[in-house]
Amino acid sequence: MPFFSNLDIFLFSLIAGLLVYWLIFRKKVEPIPEFKKLDAQTTRETSFIDKMKKTGKNIVVFYGSQTGTAEEFSNRLSKDAHRYGMKGMSADPEEYDMSELSRLPEIENSLAIFCMATYGEGDPTDNSQDFYDWLQEGDADFTGVKYTVFALGNKTYEHYNAMGKYVDKRLAELGAQRIFDLGMGDDDGNLEEDFVSWREQFWPAVCEHFGVEATGEESSIRQYELKVHSDLNMNKIYTGEVGRLKSFENQKPPFDSKNPFLAPVSVNRKLNKAGDRHLMHLELDITGSKIRYESGDHVAVYPINDSVIVSRIGEVLGVDLDTVISLNNLDEESNKKHPFPCPSTYRTALTHYLDITNPPRTNVLYELAQYATEPKEQENMRKMASSSPEGKALYQSWVLDSCRNILAILEDLPSLRPPIDHLCELLPRLQARYYSIASSSKVHPNSIHICAVVVEYETKTGRVNKGVATNWLKSKMPTDNGHKATVPMYIRKSQFRLPFKSTNPVIMVGPGTGIAPFMGFVQERGWLKEQGKEVGETVLYYGCRHKNEDFLYQEELEEFEKTGVLTALNVAFSRDQAEKVYVQHLLKKSKEAVWRLVHTDNAHIYICGDARNMARDVQNAFYEIAEELGGLSRAQAVDYIKKLMTKGRYSQDVWS
């Protein structure tokens, strides 16, 4: 009798076959091959040196960019290179292995340019954080590396251009050779003019250093080519998503700048009781998103442009905005395949992806000038893009002072009718807008509060300009015809934090919408008290124009004062009397109490609001108090406050 019957053998073979089938094909559904593919891709592309060699580039322009300006400048410099018989590439330091910088001398006549913006309190931008950390820790040898830095910042901030200055200094310490002076761009003045003036002197210095000559080619070079799609499946077309296609339809955490969360608006109310401004309080529902935030963080929202302006651009240029297009990079090796998510329609690009409301920079005018058929108009556009004093003055008055956006320029230059695809290539990306969060996650774990003023003003040309984000947020009512209004958002962490010890007193100074983060702080101090924690003095200096018009959160603040959560509520109503009274006046009025809290009781000071005037005036008030009550000279008082900043006891969340 056989050991196995035929049935046994059949069953055994069947089971073995199924097992083999399962082992082989099970692997196919596992995501392992995808990871392998990704790894190969990352290793292949993290070497900017290999990429430069492969594509014959000898200039690399790195950018540290938070709002897109440094990236824009970097693109302009890499495009410039070909006018001098050189080849440039623009690069995001986050995407490359920056330790490879030491290999740059392997490429003949090579140069690294850094366009570095400073964010907040002298911090690096998100995309250059790793590079900054590496520079601080590293001891690389950059002998033979040639470089230059252009810094972007704002003079009204304490740490003006800190990131650019640091990169410039650190590269030299590591042995690199600076071939042109550090450029200083000031956004409080005219950043564009600073950049153009620096660039005008920079290229001749490069030519001299490398012994090359300008080719004289001034013609504009297209970076992208247009492809019109006639029969694309609608599911393959971007409709406003920032990153992954259809990411707004099937939302998946984690949520960040490339993958924002669509937060439903649960509250949208007007805060001011009267006056001609509209101050609003919004609440975004983050239930189920796994988003965490701390008091003092920022919420970033992605706004969309006014459909009236978008349609008008289409009318002026005589195009069908619903044409489906892709703009594809002519440099196939570039990491940046498209200027914005493609395929998309012109309408989607102008609504979601492109900045159509800020005055265009000079390079946009220069490139568009070729399409002006009227010689005088063409000449003026070229002049505004030049570095001649006359051209700079014309750009300042005609574009900047008159707040002309691209639509106003097209309307006021009737002979200028560029192809819409070139216009879309040149316009910068529409950026997320940051707001200080006006709530505490301890009290509102599933909700983020925003406090903002709606921007609307008349320009010198008689047009009405409206702030993109604030007007868009104003229209976001909790239910819109049965649909929930949503806002694409993510959280940006901040250094603006309550003291670690709840017993430390806090002094908060925030006029107008600068009250926002302090609503979160006060809520949190109240919550700590409820938990039975000992909480130090909580003092607020708040300023507005009129008590019965724009005293924001009046009821809540007075209630906090009544219950003792706020130890002192000091409010300056600047226009309720003949002489203007501001927060700095109230600080000086209670100087003894302020000095005791700061000098004896280890208080933490927080300033939020306008950087240009308020933050400076408040800082001066603290200098004066330190001089008068601490018996210090002016220089010692300045040093005293600087030390508080270094220790993290004097923090600012300011904007200009």
Q: The tokens of 304 are what?
A: 């969309």
pLDDT at 56: 94
Domain assignment present for residue 500? The answer is: no
Position 554 pLDDT exceeds 50? yes
Position 25 pLDDT exceeds 60? no
Whether 191 and 142 share a structural domain: yes
Nearest to 425 by CA among 127, 220, 216: 220
Domain assignment present for residue 26? The answer is: no
CA pair distance 188, 161, nearest whole angstrom:
12
Task: Give CA 438 to chain center in angstroms.
Answer: 19
Q: The tokens of 28 are what?
A: 């196919």
Q: The tokens of 473 are what?
A: 């947020």
Q: In this structure, what DSSP letter does residue 536 have?
A: -
Nearest to 115 by CA among 161, 50, 51, 159: 161
Report which of residues 102 and 38 the model is more confident about.
102
Question: Across residues 452-472, what is the average pLDDT?
Answer: 97
CB 55 within 8 A of CB 89: yes
504 annotated to bind ligand: no
Q: Which residue has the tokens 């937060």?
A: 263
Whether 530 and 649 share a structural domain: yes
The domain spanning residue 401 has which CATH number?
1.20.990.10
Question: Across residues 407-419, what is the average pLDDT?
Answer: 98
434 annotated to bind ligand: yes
Whether 647 and 518 share a structural domain: yes
655 is catalytic: yes
Domain assignment present for residue 536? The answer is: yes
Question: Across residues 93-114, what is the average pLDDT?
Answer: 96
354 annotated to bind ligand: no
Task: Give CA 420 to chain center in angstroms.
Answer: 26
Whether 478 and 525 share a structural domain: no
130 is catalytic: no
Domain assignment present for residue 218? The answer is: no
CA pair distance 383, 448, nearest whole angstrom:
47
Burial status of residue 527 (CB atoms within 10 A of its CB: 0-12, 13-18, 19 or more): middle
**Contacts of residue 154, Cβ cutoff 8 Å, sequence gap at least 6:** 160, 186, 187, 188, 611, 656
pLDDT at 31: 40
Domain assignment present for residue 81? The answer is: yes
117 annotated to bind ligand: yes
pLDDT at 527: 98
The domain spanning residue 53 has which CATH number?
3.40.50.360
The domain spanning residue 294 has which CATH number?
2.40.30.10
Domain assignment present for residue 230? The answer is: no
Q: Which residue has the tokens 């290539």?
A: 425
Q: How confident is the model at residue 8 (pLDDT cuts 50, 70, 90)?
A: low
The domain spanning residue 573 has which CATH number?
3.40.50.80
pTM over 0.75: yes
Residues above pLDDT 90, as percent of the chain = 85
Q: Which of 168, 421, 550, 653 is catalytic?
A: 653
464-466 and 456-458 strand pairing: antiparallel
Q: How confident is the model at residue 37 (pLDDT cuts 50, 70, 90)?
A: very low
Last residue of a domain, one of 446, 471, 494: 494
104-109: Cβ within 8 A, 24+ apart: 104/49, 104/60, 104/144, 104/145, 104/146, 105/143, 105/144, 105/145, 106/49, 106/53, 107/49, 107/52, 107/53, 107/57, 107/58, 108/58, 109/58, 109/210, 109/212
Residues above pLDDT 70, as percent of the chain = 92
Q: In this structure, what DSSP letter does residue 133 have?
A: H
Whether 514 and 557 share a structural domain: yes
Whether 459 and 537 share a structural domain: no
* Structural domain span for residue 630: 506-654
97 annotated to bind ligand: no
Average pLDDT over all residues of the chain = 92
Whether 184 and 113 share a structural domain: yes
At residue 193, what is the residue type? E
Q: Which residue has the tokens 């003792």?
A: 564
Whether 296 and 439 share a structural domain: yes
66 annotated to bind ligand: yes
Last residue of a domain, one of 463, 494, 525: 494
595 is catalytic: no
Least confident of 73-87, 364-378, 444-458: 73-87
Predicted confidence (pLDDT) per residue in 292-335, tens digit: 999 999 999 999 999 999 999 999 999 999 999 999 999 888 88
CB 118 within 8 A of CB 83: no
215 annotated to bind ligand: no
Position 6 pLDDT exceeds 80? no
Reduced to 3 states (helix: H, G, I; strand: E, B; else coil), residue 652 is: strand
Sign of CA dihedral 597, 599, 602, 605: positive
CB 193 within 8 A of CB 384: no
Burial status of residue 231 (CB atoms within 10 A of its CB: 0-12, 13-18, 19 or more): exposed
403 is catalytic: no
Least confident of 151-160, 441-450, 589-598: 151-160
How many domains does one find in the chain? 4
252 annotated to bind ligand: no
Position 36 pLDDT exceeds 90? no
Domain assignment present for residue 20? The answer is: no
Whether 514 and 646 share a structural domain: yes
Nearest to 471 by CA among 360, 357, 612, 619: 357
Question: Across residues 55-80, what is the average pLDDT?
Answer: 95
Domain assignment present for residue 392? The answer is: yes
CA pair distance 311, 309, nearest whole angstrom:
6
**Contacts of residue 91, Cβ cutoff 8 Å, sequence gap at least 6:** 48, 60, 61, 62, 63, 74, 335
**Contacts of residue 196, Cβ cutoff 8 Å, sequence gap at least 6:** 362, 385, 387, 392
Whether 290 and 329 share a structural domain: no
Reduced to 3 states (helix: H, G, I; strand: E, B; else coil), residue 15 is: helix
Whether 416 and 336 share a structural domain: yes
Last residue of a domain, one of 387, 406, 431: 431
Q: Which of 110, 436, 439, 441 is catalytic?
A: 436
Predicted confidence (pLDDT) per residue in 604-623, tens digit: 999 999 988 999 999 999 99
Q: How confident is the model at residue 410 (pLDDT cuts 50, 70, 90)?
A: very high
Q: Which of 344, 608, 610, 651 is catalytic?
A: 608
Predicted confidence (pLDDT) per residue in 109-168, tens digit: 999 999 999 988 889 999 999 999 999 997 899 999 999 999 999 998 888 999 999 999
Position 19 pLDDT exceeds 70? no
Whether 65 and 101 share a structural domain: yes
At residue 369, what is the residue type? A
